[in-house]
Amino acid sequence: MIYVLYLIVAVICVYTVRHYGFTLNRLFGFQRHPYIDIDTADWPRVTVLVAAHNEEKVIASILAALMEAKYPAERMLVVPVNDRSTDNTRQIIDEFVELYPGRIRPFHRTQGKAGKAAALKDAMELVDTEVILIFDADYIPGAGIIKQLTAPFFDPEVGGVMGRVVPVNVGTNLLTRLLDLERAGGYQVDQQARMNLRLVPQHGGTVAGVRRSALREIGGWNDNTLTEDTDLTYRLLLCGWKTVYQNRSECYEEVPETWQVRVKQIMRWAKGHNQAMATYALPLLVGKHRATLRERLDGALLLGVYIMGPITLLGWIVALAVFYQGVAQLHGVLALLSITAYAAIGNLAAFFEIAAAVRLDSHRKRLNLLPFLILGFTVSIFSVSHAAISQLIDLARGAELRWDKTERFRKAAS
């Protein structure tokens, strides 16, 4: 059993080193922003897809914001993908269509498979541009973001683009404040470091873009997954397309305000991510494709982030079992040293990353909340472990994956 513990500690240490590496790179390394300075160009025609399922509270805000975007109006078409909404989403969209003739072409979907990927797949019939940008309905894009997300597509190697997500409802409660810290670490440090190191920045499926010819080459949207964004990242990578991250293409989003919604959201992410891991880990590591060695390794580690929850839990259980079982003296010293070393620096890796992100964002006092992250991490570990176990049970039963929409908290625009 001690060897199982060693293995788990070794895996956790790999992720620890990764966290520290990313943070140090972000703090002291060369920062890559190759496309952010493109402000003048013969801008291509773009289609902006806005995924919306029962979004009456938020859809007006994003459509209004998109109409204010600094992008040639005749080259930008907004397609609200109204996916089987049963509230007033359709009416609100249609009001905007009347208000801005020729600039919004709605896609009202009344039947079909549930899920964002399925809706986007169907909406592709309205898309005739090479550049496709995607936003979820609860996002509030700034005036410059359309140009910023389009600019990387001047690079013929780029198949996907991802911008930075910034929570707008930070101050609501403890959960939103913790999610703000997590997002900062995830984007400001993790994603940008992967961009700097030419690894695998992850496509987030919102505040994002994809090249139509690349999408066509990889077989279009995959509606058999819960996280079409992760799926897209790996299919692009395996086909020789790059996904790039634009840290300065920032966009406000609304984060969950209740733990129940948060748990549901992270469980969906975990299931989708694990699904992608099962599908792409092996082809990525040993398959014949154009990804570099560093992309293969980082991509594999990225695929494993949600499985680390149950592995950590297992580690705790095994450690307890080893303790009560009693271990040989040699193992005891080794175990003691490794666990002490890990406890001293390993557990702090993610905290270090978040602290660096907060510092880079020039925030100060919210750093005081760092100890509370233990709470957020604990909830996440149990949630993703629960997701992994239920996924295995569903798999054994042959049950289909179910897509759950994340609840919105914003009051409807009057």
Partner 1 sequence: MNPYLAVVALLFLTGALFLLPLLPAMLELRRKADALPLSLIQHHAGEIRYFADSFRAYLQPLGPTLQECGASGRNASGVMPDGTNYLVLGSGSEAVVLPLQQQDGICPVLIASATDLSLSKDSCFSKDIYSSGRFIGGDNNHYRALLAEKEAYLGKTSSVMRWVHAGGELSADSGCKLAARVSSDSRIRLAPGCSFQRLNAPRIEFGQQAAENPTQPLSPVPEIPLSMKPQRVVHDGDFEIRCGAAFCGDLVVRGKLRVGSGARVYGSVKSQKDMVLGSGARVEGSLVSGGKLFIGASCLIHGPVIAEREVHVQTGTQCGHPETPTTVSALRIEAEEGVLVFGSLWAREHGKVVARA
Cα-flanking dihedrals φ and ψ of residue 143, to 5°? Answer: -65, -30
Distance (Å, rounded) from C-alpha 140 to C-alpha 136?
9
Question: Which part of the chain contacts partner 1 (CB under 8 A), choosing from 78-86, 115-123, 279-287, 364-372?
Answer: 364-372
Asked if 245 is part of the footprint of partner 1 (rule: CB under 8 A), the reply reads no
Question: Which part of the chain contacts partner 1 (CB under 8 A), choosing from 3-11, 89-97, 247-255, 264-272?
Answer: 247-255
Asked if 25 is part of the footprint of partner 1 (rule: CB under 8 A), the reply reads no
Distance (Å, rounded) from C-alpha 133 to C-alpha 211?
9
Structure tokens at 3: 């060897």
Distance (Å, rounded) from C-alpha 43 to C-alpha 188?
27
Question: Which part of the chain contacts partner 1 (CB under 8 A), choosing from 32-40, 101-109, 297-305, 343-351?
Answer: 32-40
Asked if 366 is part of the footprint of partner 1 (rule: CB under 8 A), the reply reads yes
How many residues belong to the site for partner 1 (CB under 8 A)?
49
Cβ count within 10 A of residue 332: 14
Question: Which part of the chain contacts partner 1 (CB under 8 A), choosing from 110-118, 163-171, 274-282, 377-385?
Answer: 163-171
Cα-flanking dihedrals φ and ψ of residue 362, to 5°? Answer: 60, 30
Residue 251, amino acid: C
Cβ–Cβ < 8 Å for 135, 50:
yes
Which one of 151, 208, 267, 388 is in contact with partner 1 (CB under 8 A)?
Answer: 151
Please state the closest distance from residue 41 (CB atom) to partner 1, in A: 5
Distance (Å, rounded) from C-alpha 210 to C-alpha 195?
17
Which one of 170, 313, 348, 379 is in contact with partner 1 (CB under 8 A)?
Answer: 170
* 252 vs 352, beta carbon nearer partner 1: 252
Cβ–Cβ < 8 Å for 187, 164:
yes
Please state the closest distance from residue 262 (CB atom) to partner 1, in A: 17
DSSP state of 405: P
Binding mask 83-122 for partner 1 (x = CB under 8 A): ----------------------------------------
User: Which of positions 262-291 make contact with partner 1 (CB under 8 A)?
Assistant: 290
